[in-house]
Structure 1
Amino acid sequence: MQKNKDIKDKAKPVSHAARLSVAPMMDWTDRHCRFMHRLLSREALLYTEMVTSPALVRGRAFHLLTHSPEEHPVALQLGGSDPSELAEAARIGAEAGYDEINLNVGCPSDRVQSGTFGAVLMRQPDLVAECCAAMQAVVDVPVTVKCRIGVDDQEPQEVLPAFLETVSGAGVTRFSIHARKAWLKGLSPKENRDIPPLDYPLVYEMKRNFPDLHLSLNGGVGTLEEALKHLEMGLDGVMIGRAAYHQPWDILGAADPLVFGAEAPFADPLDSVEAMLPYVAQHLGEGGKLGQISKHMLGLFAGQPGARLWRRVLSEGAHKEGAGVALIKEALDVVRGAREGALEAQK
């Protein structure tokens, strides 16, 4: 029980951290990505890739829960629709040290639909409430929900408030709302991230109608400036996905002072790369591959002199035999050279 108490104490700042969060993204927000993101922002809330409850409970795939202590605050996103199985998965996740358990009610992929979880659950708010209640009964960390505004031919103006009312009635107080419908037939998961129109005003309306709920907006937010505008509209948080991954310095490097009023960990992305090197060396020493980490670092200099060369050096060299810290240092030297060249050109 002492461990659970420690977890609960650690979870206290999670709702504050949710003022800005990095969305859970399959194949992207793994533990190496999260470690780098945490270096850039000490404050933002980070999420795992979605882990299915069957994988943990039936498959005992506990390796999916591996994370570094430095990642906190970090949330585990679960996919599933069986209340008892989700409860067991949530218990496993909380005991592994995660600060929050999040239920995926937004993913539109065929695999998710066939398993009766993800966005298809927007049609079953009573089941979502039952799942959340079951999870809350066995963990001492917050249980939250990431959802869409509706699916297929549902009317979001009717569906979303009813969904929030039902699920919050089970005790859930924090939701991340992807401000698009999910079209479960006719659109691919990739198309579902872009084609259905965004409805930010509806999410603003939900905050006015449910003032006691902590609501974060997700979907289409491409810059930190856009995130700040959504916060100024009264929302409690903003969740950023692809932009935070592809331009991590632009989003997370400036997040702590602009969003949280805290000091930025680094003044320059070069320094953040230097700070990554011991982690990279440790990973390699444990038998890992450089590409498992470097692929998440490609966007660090996006929009800056040397960005293309940085990506080229890492992309072409990371998978070669013996690739290691020296390759990252080589790429850093290329960026420094490009910066010096750009300064000379300005004179």
Structure 2
Amino acid sequence: MRRTVFDGEHRTFRATMRAFIDAEVVPSFSRWNDDGLVPREFYYRLGELGILGLEVPVEHGGRGLDSFRHQAVVAEEIARAAVSFGSASTHVSRCLPLIDDLATTEQRRRWLPGSVTGETMFALAVAEPGTGAEPSDMRTTAPLSLDGTEYLLNGSKTFVTGGVHADRVIVCARTAAPNTEDPTYGLSLLVVDATAPGYRVGRALDTLGRKLSGTAELTFTDVRVPVTDRLGDAHRADTHLAAQLPRERLSIAVGAHAQARAAVRFAHRFTTERTASTVASFQNTKFELAACRTEVDAIEAVVDRALTAHDYGDLTPADAASAKLFCTESAGRVIDRCLQLHGGIGYLADSPIARLYADHRIDRIMGGTSEVLRTIIAADMGL
């Protein structure tokens, strides 16, 4: 069936993305994978192509698009080739929307132009060692100075995607004590300059998948952050972050669909081209591929409906939770079955299907675990 969620402009953009990935990413990807990091210069190239600024306002150098569909095309083409753009997706899908929603006019002027060109790459630091992202357990502190001009940041963060290359990091820190009525009160978002004294990038984390994401630990020792670099309202970081969850979960659902579709493509190609024994001739293989395609069609229907709802401003938190839950759980099954069809070759770390398998696994954890999402959906049902 033809997908109506994309029009001619999207199809043209898709062709451009596919040509770019085939010509400039695929030939270098093995070397990047061996290095465990995307070259810093690659982000400048993404900036030249306009990929970093698709939804950034025109006055700040972006294209000013008000739809997530171009981002969906990028995710699908990345998965199709089983490659990675490093931490660019976090920069575009998590950090820039926060800035777009919360930044002052002066902050936009300072931060957005560089974010479009790749000169200023952003990361988001929320989780902490041993406590995760639970607001009541957050120990990173940033009290306001007596003269009210700066925050003094101390603490550490972990699982910071893009932390290795980040020029600015949006840090969630405790700027006031929580109150008994609202345990989430007291957290603020501070945009921290990576060159500030006391800012240190710790070890790069060796993750199961997404090896090129530049995920790292960060520590802050008496880092002075100007009050003009606070993003959004003081003491309301949890509210600001929660407002971004529907979009984040849509992004993860889109990626899950893209990975599942790519997995079926790889499995179909492998089983039909293998010369020692044409695996695709086996009845079980035919049935498995047919079942996987059917499941991908269902995932696609959910994703396309969610994309449309998002563009119309109708994607509720429960809708986004439902889409992410269904898409990530279903994609996990599809990718696993497609890896099985590859046999031993599918277990090799440098095979495309193995990369998809490892890269996808985090989708059922980040942006709200599957267990948390079920709780949200149940509450929306009045349960």
Question: By the TM > 0.5 criterion, same fold?
Answer: no
TM-score, normalised via structure 2 length: 0.27
